[in-house]
Amino acid sequence: MIYLDYAANHPVDPAVLSRFCAVEMDYPGNPNSSHLAGQAARELLAETTEHIASLLGAKPTEVLYTSGATEANNLALKGIARANRHLGKHILSTQLEHASVGGSLTALQQQGYEIDLLDIRRDGTIDTDQLRELLRPDTILLAVTAVDSELGTIQPLEEIREILKDYPNCRLHVDATQAVGRIPITFQGFDTMSLAFHKIGGLNGSGLLLKRQQLVIEPLFHGGSSDSIYRSGTPTLALAAAADTALTLAIEYRDERTAVVRDMRTQLETVLSAFPKVRINSPVGGVPHILNLSIQGVKGTQFQKALSERGVCVSVKSACSSDGLPSKAVFAVSRERKNSLSSWRISLSWRTTQEDITGFLQAFDACYQELA
């Protein structure tokens, strides 16, 4: 099998798994218990949280452990909207967001919130002129992805932050799930930021919401404040420790891993662009690990199936929205429905090998000859 779907899920790093097992075995106590075992667990949790916070430029009290980015996005969006409804019910977001943001916004819309989605420019970035036009005194939230999972566009977060300075009631939520470990990003100037560790060699079922200390949000879960009043449930110490290891490695080796991925991406893009019916959809300047392309006249699902039959795993849209509808993100940059229906995504890792690339290109050539 040739796995090229690392933006959907990245295999766990052996060091992360070892850390998980060691902590799970060595710390039997519940961090909320007052006895010796509880105290030991509490101390390790505090140390771990402090380290994670320092890696992300946050305070330990700003770290909320979640089951992944879907929960973190739901908690941020619903939590901010509900806690600020006295200030307004207008929310802004974009066409590029992950289904967990889109789904939260739909739920909020059904509860009477007004949602506007910003257009995407041809280079994949959000239309910041339109952002200026749509912001209102009753806009309480802008939810934007730092890097979208389909095209890999890096959004102009600095510019967005500057624009929001004139709107003190508008909170900024950043989905950093595809950005952490790929580009330099810290929790500076945002109100909330979500991420998931299974994208960077951490364990599935583990993520974070960073929440600015003074910001009050409404929790999703009620009962038992445990680690924080904003996220009930016994904190899973071993998952937190594993997350710390994954994040430490992702940040420490980010530059060298990115260089490896960039070389493979360049190689792929050069070879694929020579096929007359190939169109590269990912904008120039995006993250190197995501490459979105279309084969004119061939549905993305059809090409993906043909590759899968040859042992190659790529994805059509993101793994969480395989509904057969055209990709909104690709439509936004190409303005062509057919092109968006033909699109699919390769996503790479520092673990991708030259054999993977060669094998993929052979399979691609065979599928192209058969279908295009």
Interacting residue ranges for ligand PLP, rule: CB under 6 A: 8, 68-70, 73, 98, 100, 145, 149, 175, 177-178, 196, 207, 318-320
* DSSP-based three-state secondary structure for 194: strand
Residues in the chain, total: 372
Which residues fall within 8 angstroms of residue 332, CB to CB, at 6 or more apart?
Answer: 95, 96, 119, 120, 124
Q: What is the DSSP letter of 62?
A: G
Lookup: tokens for 317: 């849209």
* Count of CB atoms situated within 10 Å of the CB of 313: 17
Instruction: Label residues 42-60 b or e (16+ Cβ within 10 Å = b).
Output: bebbeebbebbbebbebeb
* Count of CB atoms situated within 10 Å of the CB of 275: 16
CB of 279 to ligand PLP, least distance (A): 23
In the bound state, the residue with its beta carbon closest to ligand PLP is 68
For residue 145, which of 350, 332, 338, 340 has the smallest C-alpha distance?
Answer: 332
C-beta separation of 13 from 181 below 8 A: no
CB of 149 to ligand PLP, least distance (A): 3
Measured CA to CA, the distance from residue 372 to residue 362 in angstroms comes to: 15
Residue closer to ligand PLP (CB basis): 74 or 364:
74
CB of 246 to ligand PLP, least distance (A): 13
313 is annotated as an active-site residue: no
Residue closer to ligand PLP (CB basis): 94 or 318:
318
Lookup: tokens for 234: 């016994």
C-beta separation of 342 from 277 below 8 A: no
CB of 96 to ligand PLP, least distance (A): 9
Measured CA to CA, the distance from residue 153 to residue 193 in angstroms comes to: 17
For residue 106, which of 73, 137, 84 has the smallest C-alpha distance?
Answer: 73
* DSSP-based three-state secondary structure for 307: helix
CB of 338 to ligand PLP, least distance (A): 25
CB of 99 to ligand PLP, least distance (A): 8
Measured CA to CA, the distance from residue 176 to residue 193 in angstroms comes to: 6
Catalytic choice (170, 313, 320, 367):
320
CB of 173 to ligand PLP, least distance (A): 11
Q: Given the structure tokens 């995006």, which residue do they identify?
A: 286
Residue closer to ligand PLP (CB basis): 62 or 148:
148
Lookup: tokens for 318: 């993101």
CB of 371 to ligand PLP, least distance (A): 27
Q: What strands lie across the sheet with 278-280, from one edge to the other?
A: 278-280, 290-295, 343-347
Task: Determine the residue type at 7.
Answer: A
Residue closer to ligand PLP (CB basis): 73 or 292:
73
Lookup: tokens for 270: 């050069």
Residue closer to ligand PLP (CB basis): 92 or 135:
92
Residue closer to ligand PLP (CB basis): 162 or 221:
221
Lookup: tokens for 97: 């967001």
Residue closer to ligand PLP (CB basis): 144 or 298:
144
Residue closer to ligand PLP (CB basis): 88 or 152:
152
Active site residues: 320
